[in-house]
Structure 1
Amino acid sequence: MENSGGGSFMRNRRLESFLDTNSSSTVKQAPKILVKEEVVKSPKTDVYVDDDGWISALISCVRIVVCFLSMMVTTFIWSLILLFLLPWPYERIRQGNIYGHVTGRMLLWILGNPIKIEGTEVSNERAIYICNHASPIDIFLVMWLAPTGTVGVAKKEIIWYPLFGQLYVLANHLRIDRSNPTAAIQSMKEVARAVVKNNLSLVIFPEGTRSKNGRLLPFKKGFVHLALQTRLPIVPVVFTGAHHAWRKGSLNVRPAPITVKYLQPIKTDDWTDDKVDDYVKLVHDIYVENLPDAQRPLH
């Protein structure tokens, strides 16, 4: 599930060959060149270069069409399964997760982005998984990686999304009413009760919407309220590079590498209602520390 750094290794081998064929004065400068190479490899940098030529655009269009057709097939199949399982709500959640594992991984394979995953030792804990959101690809990653027994939290209007929205509801995932603060609070309470009652995990995008340029947006408070009501730990999942792969409002999918990094769980057992803003800032700051400069918010 984790891609190796083969490209970086070959670059180092070519660099070593170059140094071996040059003069001794060039060899003396080798440590400086190696230091620069390390900087390029650092997760804090962002060096992907776009290729927006017509061939790239054509390949992108083909991949998007294949993704859509493939998703239609799997969605139709699992819709039939979920209709059959209507009397068994938890089994519908489980089957919805299996649908996500199959469909999410298939779509990512079709798009062809190299994916590196770190910190998987905490990827199956019962928790509230939160993810930064800057690309449609984030949805595919969440579908693929969410452990079985996990429900998503989305706005109630998702039911109107063709095919996917109806399957989301059939899979017994949770929706919230964001029309006004009172309705939103009541929705959050209902979500928390369902999670506790059925021993579920949650996955949520705390920004509440997708970033246009990949930079982290301010976090909404909903995930903290859910943590206070469920006492589940929060597992931050950091997506890096997805904003290069598929930007908001674009139909051009690029083969940019993507990194998924699970951070250590944040315990919420001793959290209190009077420090909600502090907890939001705490988790937001953790993301800022773990994102490259190009994805950090501008101050």
Structure 2
Amino acid sequence: MENDGVNSFLRSRKMEGLFCTRPTQDSAECSQKIIVSRNESACKTLTGSWYVNNDGWISFMISWARIIACFVSMMVTTFIWALIMAVLVPWPCQRIRQGNIYGHVTGRMLMWILGNPITIEGTEYANERAIYISNHASPIDIFLIMWLTPTGTVGIAKKEIIWYPLFGQLYVLASHLRIDRSNPTAAIESMKEAANAVVKNNLSLIIFPEGTRSENGRLLPFKKGFVHLALQTRRPIVPMLLTGTHMAWRKGSLHVRPAPLTVRYLPPIRTDDWTADRIDDYVSMVHDIYVKHLPESQRPLGVEINRPT
């Protein structure tokens, strides 16, 4: 199967009304037109972008319809790819690639159903063999990560994911990695196994360094796992900054709002010369990069810093 051709098709810049991905002035203009055209009585969000903040019953009904459509669509694609994965059981590398294709198809489809305007920046860094990291504040983050991580990428999740109906079993079939977070010793061993698999099969990784989802969109402290993986694989780290997702789908809510979203890839952080005695320094350095580039509403409380120009 020509995965490059499939991925090129899946990442094509169609549906310009929803997905403005060129990191140029045209992209900003496109996003602005979409947002302003939704309603003249727009409300300004904490992210600094404009969108309609309508909590009326019609908005709730539309939101529920979108969520149901997402669930049904995801179940259909998950079932289809579960059958494909079952056939490919003897070939783990092919299962990884098929798992990525599943993510590209399903993630893009779910974002299309939700209808949020999206701007994607820094796509020149989106095809590195690297450890991709991302802040995490909404279920939408999962959909974006599924869609935008390159082919040949595996994720790391808690071992309990296997109990998620159908999706958890597909996660395992796709040869993604699981760790036992309740046992530090087992977690460290799982990280070593993950690093060995990444190097052996020339893979990339995607991980949420906060370790859990932020309740209010503000950046949480980073765990050390991504640095341990970098030390063992010598892969560069590519930060992915997600903004607006916490406004679009808040934790504990079933109301999806039309907030504009931005995905921004930052330049890779080389790890060739990193040493094990400076793990805490590296964690702080990468966390500070996020703090500098996130909007004020998503920075940790009490942190004030001039935004980069």
CA contact (8 A) 2:35 2:50 kept: no
In the alignment, what sits opposite 2:97?
94
Per the alignment, in what secondary structure is the counterpart of residue 133 of structure 2? strand
Matching residue of 2:83: 80
Amino acid in structure 2 at the alignment position of 1:65: I
Alignment gaps of 5+ in structure 2: 1-12, 14-18, 21-26, 37-43, 303-309
Structure ranking higher in helix proportion: 1
Structure 1 segment 52-131 matched on structure 2, within 5 A? 52-131=55-134
Q: Which runs of 4+ in 1 moved over 3 A?
A: 6-12, 43-49
What secondary structure does 1:219 align onto? Answer: coil
TM-score normalised by length of structure 1: 0.87
The answer to whether the 8 A contact 2:215-2:251 is kept is: yes
- Identity of aligned pairs, percent? 75
Match of 1:222 in 2: 225
- Per the TM alignment, residue 177 of structure 1 is displaced from its structure 2 partner at its CA by 1.2
SS of the counterpart of 2:59? helix
Distance 1:7 1:216 in 2: 25
Give the whole-Å Cα distance in 2 for the aligned partners of 1:170 and 1:139.
18
TM-score by length of 2: 0.84
Alpha-carbon deviations, 1:61-96, whole Å to 9, x = none?
000001000011100000000000000000000000
CA RMSD of aligned residues (A): 1.9
- Mapped to 1, the partners of 2:156 and 2:83 lie a distance apart of 23
Q: Structure 1, residues 232-260: CA drift from partner, whole Å, max 9, x if none?
A: 00000000000011011100001111000
Residue 52 of structure 1 and its aligned partner are, at CA, apart by: 1.0
Aligned residues between the structures: 271
| Structure 1 residue aligned with 2:159 | 156
CA shift at 1:48, angstroms?
4.9
Tell me the equivalent position of 1:283.
286
**Max radius of gyration: which structure?**
1
Of 237, 240, 245, the match for 1:237: 240
Seen in structure 2, the aligned counterparts of structure 1 residues 290 and 86 have a Cα distance that, compared at 3 Å, is same
> Who is 1:21 aligned against?
none
Change in 2 beyond 3 A, CA 1:88/1:295: same
Q: Distance in 2 between matches of 1:110 and 1:257?
A: 14
* Matching residue within 295, 298, 301 for 1:295: 298
